Structure formats: structure tokens, C-alpha cells
Amino acid sequence: MIVCKSKMELEKMREANLIVATVLERLRKMIEPGVTTSQLDSCAEELILKAGGKPAFKGYRGYPATLCASVNDQIVHGIPNQRRLQAGDVLGLDLGVYYKGFYGDSAWTFPVGEISDELHKLLKVTEESLYLGIEQVRIGNRVSDISASIQKHVESHGFSVVREFVGHGIGKALHEEPQVPNYGVPGRGPRLVEGMVLAIEPMVNTRGSEVKVLEDQWTVITADGGYSAHFEHSVAVTENGPWILSLLDH
Ligand code: MF3
Ligand code: CO
């Protein structure tokens, strides 16, 4: 069942997502060679609690941290640790917040210092694919219209999309129906109706799309050692088109 949200509920979801966006912006400014993802994680937790929210991922199926921090060949669900970031790394930060009964969820991949041209292109294409997916968030479209536009953009640039993990509905639960894959043909799946909220989250690899999970049971890496990027926004379907709830200064 897909749960639609009232205008008032969307306003609350906006508040939850605004905390996510504000914290990600603060973390972005801290990212430089020498910083550890544990430091970013502590800072994120402190800022969320100060804002009156709760970290959404901590304790979710036993996940041990506030942030997911995924470096280089790590795709998603990297657990923050004491390793120092190095110039040339790419760092994916995924953050969820629970506030006033609703969840917010957003992710961004950042460069650490100077990065290679290929990584620059990876970040650009992945972010663009997210926004192309978001453009499809219109009443009457179907879920796979989002999926198809993401896949088309990514593959036209020679990169691949991850299949094993998908976007999702979001609201009073972190993961609601429907699933939002980042691949597929257009015109399939549920129709989008006013009040749906979707977390759209392309995961894009420089080489093959295959994944492996590390022994920690969380960290997802590319099977072939290629680099990976992940961008995510929580987006509401409105009569005026997509409302990106997790964008600053909307
Ligand atoms: N943002 C991710 C998602 O949408 C992370 C959740 S997994 C967690 O599914 F365990 F870290 F919470
Ligand atoms: Co998500």
C-alpha cells in the first residue's frame, strides 16, 4: 500500500528533511584530507539532537551509526570509522532524521581535496541523473519513468547503475512502498498521485554494476573495485510538480 500525505504532513516532512539538508551542509564544510568519518558522524548526531530530531539510521536493523559514510569503491552503508580521508577520495554521506513523526532522507557524494577528472564526471553524471529522475515526479507519470530516465543518463555516459538497492517511499516509516529502482523501461509500476513522497537515490559505478557486501554485513562495495557515487533526495508529488523536500532554501 502506498501512503499519501496531506499538505500538513508534507510540511512536517519538509521540516525533517530540512534538518537533514542543514546537517549535510555543515558536514560538507568539514570535509578535507585528515578528517575521519567518525568525526563527521559524531558531529551529525550532535546537530540532529540539537535540532530536536532523532538519527533515523542508528539502531535501524542494528545499524551502529548516525551517518552512512561510503568512500571510493564503497557504494552505500559504509560504517563511519577512524581512517583519515585522503585527497582524491570521494565520500558519500547518507543521512536520515526522524522529526515530528516523519522521516527525512538524503545523500550526497563529495570530493575530498582535488579529485581526478573521471571522478568529477562520476559525481556530475550521478547528480544529474537524480535531477532527471526528479523531473519525472509528476501526477500521472509512473514510477518507472523515474527509473528509466536515471538509467538512460548514466549509461549514456559509460557508467552503470546498481540493481540490488533501490529508492523507496518515505513517510511515517523510513522505507515505504513503492520501490524506486534506478533502471527499467518507462511506463511501468504505480502511477504517481498527489501526496506521494519518494526517496530517489541513484547509485552509480564507474565500471560494472555488481556489488559485494563486506564481512561487517553492512558496507556495500563494487565487485570489480570501480568507484561509486550516491545522491538522494526525498521528493513529494504535488499539483505543481516535484517538491524536493531535502533541498536547502526551497
Ligand atoms: N538512506 C538509506 C536508505 O534509504 C540508508 C538506510 S540503511 C541504514 O535505505 F541502515 F543505514 F539505515
Ligand atoms: Co533512502
pLDDT in tens, 39-70: 999 999 999 999 999 999 999 999 999 999 99
**Does residue 41 line the site of ligand 1, with CB under 6 A?**
no
- What is the predicted pLDDT for the residue at 215? 98
Q: What residues contact 171, with CB distance under 8 A and at least 6 apart?
A: 3, 5, 9, 13, 102, 103, 197
If we measure between CA atoms, which residue out of 106, 242, 86 comes closest to residue 168?
106
* Residue 50 Cα to ligand 2 middle (Å): 23
**Does residue 176 line the site of ligand 1, with CB under 6 A?**
no
Whole-model pTM? 0.98
Amino acid identity for residue 172 in this structure: K
* R_g of the chain computed on alpha carbons: 17
How far is residue 30 CA from its own chain's centroid? 19
Strands 176-180 and 54-55: unpaired
The residue to mutate among 20, 48, 58, 76, having the most atoms of ligand 1 within 8 angstroms of its beta carbon, is 76
**Does residue 218 line the site of ligand 1, with CB under 6 A?**
no
- What is the predicted pLDDT for the residue at 1? 95
**Does residue 63 line the site of ligand 1, with CB under 6 A?**
yes
Average pLDDT taken over every residue of the chain: 98
**Does residue 97 line the site of ligand 1, with CB under 6 A?**
no
Q: What is the pLDDT of residues 86-123, one digit of tens each?
A: 999 999 999 999 999 999 999 999 999 999 999 999 99
**Does residue 77 line the site of ligand 1, with CB under 6 A?**
yes
- What is the predicted pLDDT for the residue at 249? 77
- What is the predicted pLDDT for the residue at 31? 98
Indicate if the pLDDT at residue 250 is higher than 90.
Answer: no
* Residue 57 Cα to ligand 1 middle (Å): 6
Residue 72 Rama label (left phi>0; alpha psi -120 to 50; beta): left
- What is the predicted pLDDT for the residue at 142? 98
Q: What is the pLDDT of residues 20-42, one digit of tens each?
A: 999 999 999 999 999 999 999 99
Q: Which domains can be identified in the chain, with CATH numbers?
A: 7-244 (3.90.230.10)
Cα–Cα distances (Å) from 10 to 90, 172, 194, in that order, read 32, 11, 11
If we measure between CA atoms, which residue out of 61, 63, 33 comes closest to residue 45?
63
User: What proportion of the chain, given as a percentage, has pLDDT over 90?
Assistant: 99
